[in-house]
Amino acid sequence: MNIGSDMNEMVPMHEQIRQRYGHTPGHWLADGGYTKLQAFDEVAKHGTQPLMPPPRSRDPNIDPFASKSTDSAHMIQWRVRMASEQGKELYKQRAATVECTNAQVRRRGLRQFLVRGLAKARCVLLWHAMAHNLMRMRSLNLAWQP
């Protein structure tokens, strides 16, 4: 897909993981771009707890962690989890994992794609992913084992 937002991608990505691996993760750590509240019930019914920040309200007097009258049971649990210290600590892991990788890829020159078309952009991205993985293996002194 060629869409500028990740908002509708949580459920399809979760389904891909379930199909490929036969099970789903216990937690789903994602940035705020994935926070589509309607998707939480679908992901949660497969046993995955979303860990992402609640959307901020335009009204500064509204607590984003407070339950809403329209929230499902899964959404209420998510708000409680994200308001807790444990939830906040788990969410901090995102910066140490994903954001580090994004920064390294940008440092290696991938700031924008210099090719046209999804197939070519995917190829460039996969080359960068492979280079990143090989560099991580090298830094961790891991040997390739086919």
How far is it, in rounded angstroms, from Cα 37 to Cα 50? Answer: 10
Q: Which amino acid is at 125?
A: L
Report which of 93, 133, 125, 120 is spatially closest to residue 106, judged by C-alpha positions.
Answer: 125
Please determine, for residue 146, whether its predicted confidence score (pLDDT) is greater than 80.
no
Given this model, what pLDDT does residue 89 score?
A: 87
- Measured CA distances, 99 to 56, 85, 96, 104 (Å): 21, 21, 6, 9
Those residues with Cβ within 8 angstroms of residue 77's Cβ, 6 or more apart along the chain or in another chain: 44, 49
Given this model, what pLDDT does residue 107 score?
A: 86
What tens digit of pLDDT does each residue of 98-127 get?
A: 777 778 888 888 888 889 998 999 999 899
- Measured CA distances, 5 to 9, 77, 92, 127 (Å): 8, 25, 22, 23
Given this model, what pLDDT does residue 3 score?
A: 65
**pTM metric for this prediction:** 0.67
Domains of the chain, residue spans: 10-107, 113-146
